[in-house]
Amino acid sequence: MEELSMHILDIVENSTRAGAHLVRVAIEESSAEDRLTIKIEDDGAGMSKELCAKVLDPFFTTKTVRRVGLGLPLIAQAAHTSGGDFTIESQEGKGTRITAVFRLSHIDRQPLGRMADTVIAMIAGNPLVDFCYSHKSDQGSYSLDTREIRKVLGDVPIHHTEVLMFIKNSIHEALIEIDAEP
């Protein structure tokens, strides 16, 4: 994966496969602290301590369609390669929290990518799941909560093409305002 946004999408897919009803994605960029932090938290099935210890092994997966599980090991490696850190916390029946920290200015840090496209892919691919997305930079912050959007939409499905385009454009414009979109 060439962009961190693709790692985020992969982890969110793990969350939805684990039965999450709510997934939170928080991104914080700080030039002053030379840090980019990505936090993903869900209310899915969670994992036992034993399973949590195995998920960073690229030759371990719970999926039956392939024999390797590269999503978490790849983002952990990307964080470490850029002078950062990676942690995973999980509790069975409660959910999982992943935190990846990157040195913002590190030459080997992958670009974040287009988060507006990523958030739309999350919503469109999982219309029954709620998402909270927040993005903070030195220039400001933005947040989106699909639960609030659903209230406004009423009977209109959140994955309706016009709704998705409106959400995508809103995210894109807001992220440009806070200097967080390429």
- pLDDT tens track for 121-146: 999 999 999 999 999 999 999 999 99
User: Domain coordinates of the chain in residue numbers?
Assistant: 4-177
Contact 86, 99 (CB under 8 A): yes
**What's the pTM value of the predicted model, to 2 decimals?**
0.92
* pLDDT greater than 60 at residue 65: no
The amino acid occupying position 56 is L
Average pLDDT, the chain: 92
3-class state of residue 86 by DSSP: strand
* Percent with pLDDT over 90 in the chain: 83
- pLDDT tens track for 142-180: 999 999 999 999 999 999 999 999 999 999 999 999 999
Position 63 scores a pLDDT of: 52
Residue 18 backbone dihedrals phi, psi, to 5 degrees: -85, 10
* pLDDT greater than 50 at residue 69: no
* CA distance linking residue 48 with residue 178, whole number of Å: 39
Position 92 scores a pLDDT of: 94
* pLDDT greater than 70 at residue 68: no
Residue 55 backbone dihedrals phi, psi, to 5 degrees: -70, -15
Position 132 scores a pLDDT of: 98
Position 128 scores a pLDDT of: 96
* CA distance linking residue 114 with residue 95, whole number of Å: 26
Q: Which fold has domain 4-177?
A: Heat Shock Protein 90 (3.30.565)
pLDDT tier for residue 66 given thresholds of 50, 70 and 90: very low
